[in-house]
Copies of this chain bind each other. A is one copy, B any other.
Amino acid sequence: MIYLDHAAATPVSDKVFEAMKPYFLHDFFNPSAAYLPAKKVAADYETAKGVIAHAIGAKASDLVITAGATEANNLAFSAIVTEDIFCSGPRPAGPSPRAAGANSRAAALRNAPSQNISSVLYLETEHDSVRKVAEQYGGEAVKVLPSGVIDLDDLKAKITDETQLISVSLANNELGTIQPLAEISGIIREIKIDRLRRGIKTQLLLHSDASQALNLLDINVARLGVDLLTLNSAKVYGPKGVGALYVSHDARLKPVIYGGGQENGLRSGTENVPSVIGFAKAVELAKEHLNGNRKKYASWRKILLAELQGYELINKKRSLDNFVVLCYNGMDAERLVFLLEEKGVYVSTGAACAASKGVKSHVLKAIGLSDAEIAGSLRLTLGETNDEAQIHEAARIINKVVTQEKERLDNER
């Protein structure tokens, strides 16, 4: 098997698995329990959060652990404040939605999507877990250039005095395109200064989904200038079903899930200790091997681009080193995926959740590809399950399959 779909899922590495094991079998105590072994588990949990936080230049207390990146993205949008939009009538009682962790559904509800004023901007190439939430808030999409990089002029043009939150992923999940977050946060800083001058108190927050980037980029929340950052364990050789949201002091969230009050009341539910321990170990390993892996993937990417034939490279610019997105014009990539699978090579046509629904990639559409080009596009994402020999072998097999398929199509004509 040659697995080239690491952007869709990664295995749990052996070291991560070993790190989790005792917390499943022996140190299983409820971190909220009063006795010492439980207190030790609670301490280990906090330490693990600290490791994850440290990797992005933050503190454990800045993180809210979630059941994955999708939940973290959803939670990030709870920072948006909008007044009663259904009417200008009196408000129900309840804490102010600006209050940190306002623990009231009524307050959360005042946080309603504005039907007329768009308080949310998001990049049109975002993952569904951002787009679908943004749409609920009447969010407006910001265009990307043909390179897949954000169109900063379009962003500037679309920011209004009502804009509260801008969501731009650090690296796109279909193209691997890295967005200039520092530049974006610079623009946001200017606007905030201008708003202050004009006495406009509306918040302006920058959220970024860093799911794909955690093990491929050196991430620092201060340097990026983000207020909210989504992290994902399942994409960095940690367990599925766990993620985290970094929350700056400027962002005030409201709970999405109510209950025992864990995670500072923002995300109730018994702490998923083994998964967080595993997530932390995965992050630790990712940071340890960051530079080595980047070099390795970059060289493998070069090999593929050199040895593959008859393709057009789609993600030319500013891409994560492990993303190779190719277009075989006039071919049906879905069929190529199937033919490659028969040869033991596993690739995808785009985001797994989108691919499964057979919908055309909104990302490839956004960068201006024609339907035919989209239909012929393959995403190869390299990772820890690969070695250099596999990369050469993959190139050979893909060339062979593509050639055979081309002959078949020519004969049909």
Q: Which residues of chain A have a CB within 8 Å of any CB of chain B?
A: 1, 5, 8-12, 14, 17, 21, 24-26, 28-30, 32-38, 66-71, 73-74, 84-93, 103-106, 108-110, 112-113, 115, 127-129, 132-133, 136-137, 234, 239-242, 256-262, 268-275, 334, 337-338, 341, 346, 348-349, 351-357
Contacts and interface: CB of A to CB of B under 8 A. Distances in A.
A5 B38 CA distance: 11
A206 to B, nearest CB: 20
A62 to B, nearest CB: 21
Nearest to A109: B112
A363 to B, nearest CB: 14
A12 to B, nearest CB: 4
Nearest to A351: B260
Contacts of A273: 240
A54 to B, nearest CB: 23
B268 A70 contact: yes
A84 B92 CA distance: 12
B14 A28 contact: no
Contacts of A129: 258-260, 268-269
10 contacts: A8-B30, A11-B24, A12-B24, A17-B24, A74-B258, A84-B87, A92-B113, A92-B115, A108-B136, A234-B270
A353 B70 contact: no
A83 to B, nearest CB: 10
Contacts of A257: 70-71, 74, 256
B36 A261 contact: no
Given A34-B334, A109-B109, A259 B9 contact: no
A119 to B, nearest CB: 13
A108 B135 CA distance: 13
